Amino acid sequence: MGKELGSLALDPRTGNLVIPAGESKFALGVGLWDDTVATYQRFVQHELSSAEKHGTVSTRGSRPGDETVLRVKVQIVLRPDNTYNPNAISVAAPPEHAGTDIERHLGYMYDRNLVSVGGPLRGLVSVSDRPVCCHAFIGLTAPFEEQLEDELGSDSLRVQDANGTVYWAAPPRLMLPWWEDLQAVVVAYSRQRRPDRILPFVGHWASWNPGAREELVRRTEEKSFAITLRADGNSLAACYEDIRLAELMPSSPDFFDHTMQRVRELGGTATAHAEEHQGALKVFVESHAPLMSPDNSTMT
What is the bridge-based pairing of β-strands 280-285 and 235-240?
unpaired
The pTM (predicted TM-score) of the whole model is 0.82
292 burial class (0-12, 13-18, 19+ CB within 10 angstroms)? exposed
- Of 90 and 165, the structure prediction assigns the larger pLDDT to 90
Average pLDDT over residues 9-37: 92
pLDDT at position 31? 94
pLDDT at position 143? 64
pLDDT at position 132? 97
pLDDT at position 150? 54
- Of 6 and 271, the structure prediction assigns the larger pLDDT to 271
For the chain, percent of residues with pLDDT exceeding 90: 59
pLDDT at position 62? 45
Report yes or no: 229 and 272 within 8 Å, Cβ to Cβ: yes
Average pLDDT over residues 270-275: 94
What are residue 138's DSSP bridge partners? Answer: 70
141 vs 281: CA distance, rounded Å: 48
Report yes or no: 88 and 108 within 8 Å, Cβ to Cβ: yes
CB count, 10 Å around CB of 100?
A: 10
pLDDT at position 288? 74
Report yes or no: 76 and 117 within 8 Å, Cβ to Cβ: no
279 vs 14: CA distance, rounded Å: 43
Q: What is the pLDDT of residues 172-199, one digit of tens each?
A: 999 999 999 999 999 999 999 999 999 9
Q: What is the pLDDT of residues 113-166, one digit of tens each?
A: 999 999 999 999 999 999 999 999 999 987 644 445 555 455 558 888 888 888
CA distances from 80 to 124, 128, 251, 284 (A): 15, 17, 33, 16
Please state, rounded to an integer, the average pLDDT across all residues of the chain.
Answer: 86
- Of 294 and 272, the structure prediction assigns the larger pLDDT to 272
Determine phi and psi for 83, rounding to 5 degrees. -70, -25
Average pLDDT over residues 67-83: 92
Average pLDDT over residues 255-265: 88
Show the CA angle centred on residue 81, arms to residues 80 and 86, nearest 5°: 40
195 vs 10: CA distance, rounded Å: 20
17 vs 10: CA distance, rounded Å: 5
pLDDT at position 164? 86
Q: For residue 34, give every residue at least 6 positions away whose Cβ sits within 8 Å of its Cβ, in sequence order, or none.
A: none
Show the CA angle centred on residue 261, arms to residues 116 and 223, nearest 5°: 50
- Of 157 and 294, the structure prediction assigns the larger pLDDT to 157
Least confident range from 53-62, 108-117, 214-223: namely: 53-62
Q: How confident is the model at residue 241 (pLDDT cuts 50, 70, 90)?
A: very high
Report yes or no: 239 and 228 within 8 Å, Cβ to Cβ: yes
pLDDT at position 242? 95
pLDDT at position 213? 95
Burial 157-176 (b: 16+ CB within 10 A, else e): bbbebeeeeebbbbbbbbbb
